[in-house]
Amino acid sequence: MSDAVTACGSTARETLGCELAAEVLRSSGRLRLRVSGASMLPAVWPGDVLSVSRRSAAQALPGDIILFARQGRLFAHRVVERTIHQGAAYWITRGDRLDHHDPQVSSRELLGRITSIQRGHRRIVPRLSFWGRIASWILRRSEFCTRLLLRFSRKQEFPSVAP
């Protein structure tokens, strides 16, 4: 699969944290999560905070970003296709920077739909623009460009101070 939304699944404590986040979303219908992975670059960056809503998740369509739970981890990936099989809905997803689709997401795994992205002091609506598609295409094919982009963004975010 790919990078998780939060540091979930590698230890019992992290798995429990992900289960708790999923339960909060199921019971309250809303959740905010900080992203740790880079699989959704350039639309979602490590450190971004995702606002997730349970209410309209089942109607998620291609282009939407959904949050789903799998193997004790949480993932936020873009819907590529929504299908109906034997009366049940399934979503085919993929991280914007990844070159392969995830295994289909069932309604049981689906937790919510991303309604906004908080990046610093900016609130962003999660849409993939024309330039975003081009950047995703480049990042999907070049690990070097991804590393360069992440390094450059860290230097801009945390400028060094001379002693």
Nearest to 81 by CA among 98, 57, 64: 64
Full-model pTM: 0.83
Kindly give the confidence (pLDDT) of every residue in the chain, 163 residues in length, as a single tens digit, with 9 standing for 90 and above.
Answer: 445 565 555 678 778 888 888 899 989 999 999 998 899 999 999 999 999 999 888 889 999 999 999 988 899 999 999 999 999 999 999 999 999 999 999 999 999 999 999 999 999 999 888 998 899 999 999 999 999 988 887 655 544 444 3
Q: What is the largest CA-CA distance in the chain?
A: 66
- 79-83 contacts: CB < 8 A, separation 24 or more? none
Domain boundaries, the chain: 12-156
Query: Encoding tokens for residue 45?
Result: 């960056």
Residue 71 zone, left/alpha/beta (φ > 0; ψ -120 to 50; rest): left
User: Judging by DSSP bridges, how do beta strands 110-119 and 49-53 pair with one another?
Assistant: antiparallel
The fold adopted by the segment(s) 12-156 is Umud Fragment, subunit A (2.10.109)
CA 92, 98, 103, 105 torsion-angle sign: negative
